[in-house]
Structure 1
C-alpha cells in the first residue's frame, strides 16, 4: 500500500499529491480576493488511473471550503469533477 500525502503549497500556488514521498501530481491555482481559480491539474503518467486526481481535488475543495473561499474552475478536470459532485457545487462563483 502506498503512502499518499496531499498538501497545499501556497508559495508555489498549487496543491500537491505525493506517493511514497515523490510528487505524483498537482492542482495549480490563483487566488484573487475570496476566489480561487483552479487553472491546471496534472497527474504523472506513472500514476494515471489510480484516482489520485480525484483525491487531490476533493482535498483541495475541502480546504477551500474550510477557508471560506469560492471556486472558479478554469481547469476542465476540476470543472467536470465539480459538475459530477453536487455536494461541491455550492463553492462555485
Structure 2
C-alpha cells in the first residue's frame, strides 16, 4: 500500500492518497497569515488502519517545513497536536 499526503491548494486541503486514490483529507483556511485546519476525515472503508495519524503527521510536517503557524480547529488535529509536542512551536492561541 502506497500512502502519501499532498497539499491541494486549489481545494484548500491536504489529501491523503492511498495507491493514488483520495482516501482522506484535511481542509484548511488561511486567515491573517495563519493556517486554520478546520476539518479532517478518512474514508470510512479505510478507518482503523492508522491513516488519520498519517494524514495529521505528514500535513503537520509539511506545514512545519514551510514555517507556517497553525490553529488546529479540527478536533482530530487538536487531539493529535496535544499528544505530539514537537508541533507546539507552530501553534497560535
Task: Please report the TM-score for the alignment, with normalisation by the length of structure 2.
Answer: 0.93
C-alpha displacement of 1:33: 3.4
Correspondence 1:31 to 2:30: yes
Report the equivalent of 2:44.
45
Structure 2, unaligned runs of 5 or more: none
Question: Superposed, which structure 2 residues align to 1:1-93 within 5 Å?
Answer: 2-93=1-92
Paired residues, number = 92
SS of the residue corresponding to residue 25 of structure 1 reads strand
C-alpha displacement of 1:90: 1.4
Task: Please report the TM-score for the alignment, with normalisation by the length of structure 1.
Answer: 0.93
Q: Name the CA distance, whole Å, in 2 between partners of 1:20 and 1:70.
A: 30
Computed over aligned residues only, the root mean square deviation of the Cα atoms, in angstroms, reads 0.9
SS of the residue corresponding to residue 69 of structure 1 reads coil
Structure 1, unaligned runs of 5 or more: none
SS of the residue corresponding to residue 61 of structure 2 reads helix
